[in-house]
A and B are shown apart, each in its own frame.
Chain A
Amino acid sequence: MKILVITEQREGQWNKVSFETLAGAQQIAAETGGALSAIVIGKGVSALADELAARKLDEVLLVEHDLLSAYTPDGYTVALQQAIAQAKPDLVLLPHTYQVRDFAPKLAATLGKGMIGDCIGYRLETGKLIFQRQMFQGKMVADVVFEGAAPWFATFQAGAFRSDLVAAGSSKAAIAMVAVDLNPQQIRTRPLEIFREAKQAVDLTQAPILVSVGRGIKAPENIPMAEKLAKLLGGEISASRPICDEGWLPMDRQIGSSGQTVAPKLYLALGISGAIQHVVGMKGSRTIAAINKDQNAPIFEVADYGIVGDLFEIVPALIEELEKNKTT
């Protein structure tokens, strides 16, 4: 099986999830005995291709064009279509990033192919690749297989593989320049400035303890209770996306794929179901404790300690206990 990884960079900086996908691709290549190549796409990114060529793979394909200096879904699709036509891979693997979500389904569709997105793993069964992906907000996992002829497209979620397990090559891989035909008329959208909203007031990555609230907190009036617990524990308050969407806590308190990624020594999840978008941002925490009324909530899959119950009864009890210890 011939595997092609499409890596991601922005302004010459890697999106590091690319290396997790590369680790997965190396594993699949080893198991299926196939060749592995990887694409670097952009403008003025030959240094990245060089860096990539030190990894264990057969070839690095460098796709450069003036019109690829800033990402556009049209530009990337047109260019990668041509690169794929030349490389003729059976399996195209990408990291499941926001950018990949924006163009990869389109790229596959222009070739009449499907994409299995957001995979958490794979299995090889008698030569057949079976991909695992979550459904129903992480409450179920699905085994998904491709139908029809190659190439097949799949994306791997952040955390599916470990980037530190990417094997180095015994010698430097060849770098091939892929010439692509691309004209300005093919690019229908115009990317403008990239910016960060109001500066991050709190750096949650530095907090040793986080008390994080989810939908289970029910109303903004209940946030102070969680804040009080955070304070008593010597930590900060954080939240899952819906809480910040509602404006109950500011956006800079958000943990997850669209917020901050944290790894405190204690992460206490209150009423957080554990949708994958949240879990990717906190699963590296040293100890995870979760309180949730639903014993099947996916948060319990990553939790070290769990209490199934009503957080409005348990949190006051925690506060009371902590206050008692403080005074004695």
Chain B
Amino acid sequence: MKIVVCIKQVPAKDAPLTIADGNWIRETDIGFEMNEPDSYALEEALRLKEKHTGEVIAVSMGPERVKQTIKEALAKGADRGIHIADDKAHTLDPLSSAKSLASAIEREKPDLVLTGLQSDDQGFGQTGVLLAERLKLPHATLIMQIDAQANTMRVKRELEAGWFQWVEVPIPALLTIQSGINKVRYATLKGIMAAKKKEIATITRESLGVTVEPTEHIERIYVPVKTKKTEFIAGTPKEAASKLLEKLKHEARVL
């Protein structure tokens, strides 16, 4: 089974974010990491490969720094990487991102394309579905289990409020993976050493012949305006705890 997994590099969870140029964040001095939802997709790809044999190709788009995330995927067990070098990737609308990714993936003729359900930065949550449309592949989203046969799969799709549905999907196909589907592995030292010998191919949007026709754009980003006034309680832990209980009892009257 030839599996392409799309992984995005996003600001680290605890990175302090400040706004730069009005519609993006300042990228200097913050750490980046693999988008957590994508790490579940990568893990699922590796497990499928271990079960059915085959190849896992990790694809990531963005500036030079995203190579680090591809290397992490290689260290965990992906066989090779594709870096779509694009310093302007963060300015692309979802459809344009999908066009670049689809052009790079198309030539691999994969049996399965996996993505996370959304990214922790822009959070458009559209890339997987758009990618399926561009690749003319059937898709299913928010997948919690994959039972793959030779030409078909049974996948468990998460619906809302604790409901699920089994869906039969032919192969090739694209699936977006729901977080929590598996336990993500750590890279081993052996894996990290092995990754050094693995190939990362670099391509560009231009070399793919993809032109950008934006359908939407972000005018500006800003820190949300508070809708509720939070009363912050200061003091030592003991004082704060005591004051909070006092307020919950006598002011909010909920205790």
Chain A partners chain B? yes
- Asked whether A118 is an interface residue with its Cβ less than 8 Å from the other chain, the reply is yes
**CB proximity of A136 to chain B, nearest CB, Å:** 6
B124-147, CB under 8 A of A: which get 1 and which 0? 111001101110001111100000
9-residue interface stretch from A47-55, A61-69, A83-91, A298-306: A298-306
A121-133, CB under 8 A of B: which get 1 and which 0? 0000000001001
- Asked whether A115 is an interface residue with its Cβ less than 8 Å from the other chain, the reply is yes
- Asked whether A30 is an interface residue with its Cβ less than 8 Å from the other chain, the reply is no
**CB proximity of A119 to chain B, nearest CB, Å:** 11
B242–A321 touching, CB < 8 Å = yes
- Asked whether A260 is an interface residue with its Cβ less than 8 Å from the other chain, the reply is yes
Instruction: List A contacts of B168 (CB < 8 A).
Output: 189-192
Q: Closest B-chain residue to A109, C-beta based?
A: B133
Instruction: List B contacts of A304 (CB < 8 A).
Output: 228, 230-231, 252
Instruction: List B contacts of A147 (CB < 8 A).
Output: 93, 214-217
A258–B217 touching, CB < 8 Å = no
**CB proximity of B227 to chain A, nearest CB, Å:** 7
Partner of A305, one of B17, B227, B244: B244
Q: Closest A-chain residue to B165, C-beta based?
A: A194
Partner of A321, one of B98, B162, B170, B241: B241
Max count, chain B CB within 10 A of own CB: residue among A97, A98, A286: A98
A140–B223 touching, CB < 8 Å = yes
**CB proximity of A74 to chain B, nearest CB, Å:** 7
A317–B240 touching, CB < 8 Å = yes
How many residues in A have their beta carbons less than 8 Å from beta carbons of B?
Answer: 94
9-residue interface stretch from A166-174, A175-183, A307-315: A307-315
**A266-B254 CB under 8 A given contacts A118-B125, A139-B17:** yes
Instruction: List B contacts of A109 (CB < 8 A).
Output: 95, 98, 130, 133-134
- Asked whether A82 is an interface residue with its Cβ less than 8 Å from the other chain, the reply is no
Instruction: List B contacts of A193 (CB < 8 A).
Output: 165-166
Instruction: List A contacts of B154 (CB < 8 A).
Output: 192
A287–B252 touching, CB < 8 Å = yes
A306–B230 touching, CB < 8 Å = yes
Q: Closest B-chain residue to A302, C-beta based?
A: B228
B224–A140 touching, CB < 8 Å = yes
Among A247-299, those with CB < 8 Å from B are 251-252, 257-261, 265-266, 286-287, 289-290, 294-296, 298
Partner of B165, one of A118, A148, A192, A290: A192
Partner of A317, one of B163, B237, B247: B237
**CB proximity of B190 to chain A, nearest CB, Å:** 25
6 A-B pairs (CB sep. < 8 Å): A134-B123, A189-B169, A258-B162, A287-B254, A308-B232, A310-B237
Closest 4 CB pairs of A and B: A114-B215, A245-B180, A317-B241, A188-B138
Apart from the given pairs A106-B129, A114-B94, A114-B216, 6 other A-B contacts in the complex at a CB distance below 8 Å: A102-B140, A110-B133, A137-B120, A146-B215, A188-B170, A302-B227
Q: Which chain B residues have a beta carbon within 8 Å of chain A's beta carbons?
A: 11, 14, 17, 19, 23, 25, 93-95, 98, 120-126, 129-130, 132-134, 138-142, 154, 158-170, 173, 178-180, 213-228, 230-233, 237-238, 240-242, 244-245, 247-248, 252, 254-255
Q: Which chain A residues have a beta carbon within 8 Å of chain B's beta carbons?
A: 15, 73-74, 97-99, 101-103, 105-106, 108-110, 112-118, 130, 133-148, 152, 188-197, 200, 209, 233, 241-242, 244-246, 251-252, 257-261, 265-266, 286-287, 289-290, 294-296, 298, 300-310, 313-314, 316-318, 320-322, 325
